[in-house]
Amino acid sequence: MDPPVVRFPKVGQAAGMVLVRRRFLLSLRDRYGPTFVLEVPPFGKTLVISDPTRLKQLFTASPEIAGTPQPNLSRMLGSGSIFGLDGEPHRQRRKLLVPPFHGKRMQAYAGLIEEEFRKEADTWPLGREFATLTPFMRITLNVILRAVFGAGGAEFEELREKLPLFVTYGSRMAVVPFKERSIGPWNPWRKLREHRAAYDAIVQRLIDRARSEPGDDILSMMLQSRYEDGAPMSDAHVRDELLTLLAAGHETTATTLAWAVERLTRHPAALHALVDDLDQGGTDLLAATILEIQRSRPVVLNTARKVLADGLTIDGFNVPKGWTVLAGIDLVQNDPEAFPHPERFDPNRFVGVKPATYAWIPFGGGTRRCVGAAFANLEMTVVLRALLRDFELRTTYAPGERWHSRGVAYAPHQGGRVVLHRRDKRQEPAEGARMEVRA
């Protein structure tokens, strides 16, 4: 049976996707069900799916059949980014990138994350409301610059200054639904290229230094890694991948932390239960809380595949070559069939329960699942544990903050505002407690 087709002008569909994507897709899901067809420039015919069975069919499809859509974030990140690769080149690149983000190597970064949290938290105003998104951005940026880029000294300060502007601008340009061209006398892509040139110059200095003096950062590991034929990654591709790791991990992790503050301050019972559990050395409830924050407030609403060859079948429908398939992350994670009472913020739904593979997908799925998922969860675990250990979060009866598009990521409209007080006595985890990080 063919899926229903949305019947209104293409320009209206494009406007809905760019300006009010979340409300637009939720309204279409309510009207047409979990599968429907859009026609959205520049992707053309687009099949939207949002239930676990259909998502599994997409994510388990061969990459030769369902690849990466264009245009995508590679417009900002570079053609050598993993976002711009398909098929065998993508498989080989992913094989190089996955090892540094798992096992003991990743756990070694927990102390660095804690250090950056403490430095930032010492500057926070007490007893006065402030937005947490920007401070969390500084923490996650510093962590990535140190752990991934191996940056220090002048390069560290230069990248701290330039990268937030570059990533913010590039994130907004990434969702513009037209090809690179001038708009009258204004060429927005020129500014993006200028940002990129400045980034390349700084990072090339870091590459040259890491090649002569290797460290324990991820940049040094990337330079030492080799493809199956023994060849190294080119410097251009290393620069692209470093930018990819920063853009994909810096803003999204900070935004999830801001949503954590926003959700917990509006759910006192969940907050107090979590603080009590952490004070007793527990880890399961914190892990469950992070899962529930990512379920209820995913910072990226969709992921997509381009049908590159005949052979992709979704629920009996043969998706034609050239179509795009849009996987609704927010749609499935707020579907009552997948998660009963999805409107409720309820971390207990994940205590002792592993989330369903094709229903909980904030990091995407299949061969294109985010390679830095475990690192992101390590950051969130360390920062939230330290925040709730050191500070009391004042709860509020204020309405939840609205979703605000920052381009690729969706953040709390007011930045996750909170009033903090120092706890009278810092509670350390019980003897023998071990932090567990779940991807």
Q: Return binding residues for heme.
A: 370
Binding residues: 370
Query: Rounded to an integer, what distance in angstroms lies between the CA atom of residue 371 and that of residue 374?
Result: 8
CB 398 within 8 Å of CB 413: no
Residue that the structure tokens 């330039």 belong to: 162
φ, ψ of residue 223 to 5 degrees: the values are -70, -30
Say whether 162 sits in a helix, a strand or coil.
helix
Residue 129: C-alpha distances to residues 90, 105, 315, 327, 394 (Å): 45, 37, 49, 37, 9
Query: Rounded to an integer, what distance in angstroms lies between the CA atom of residue 429 and that of residue 388?
Result: 11
Rg of the chain, C-alpha, whole Å: 22
Non-local (6+) Cβ contacts of 260 within 8 A are 289, 290, 293, 380, 384, 416
Q: Which of 356, 365, 291, 374 is nearest to 328 (CA)?
A: 365
Q: Which two tokens stand for residue 284?
A: 């399961």
Residue that the structure tokens 């692209």 belong to: 240
CB 295 within 8 Å of CB 333: yes
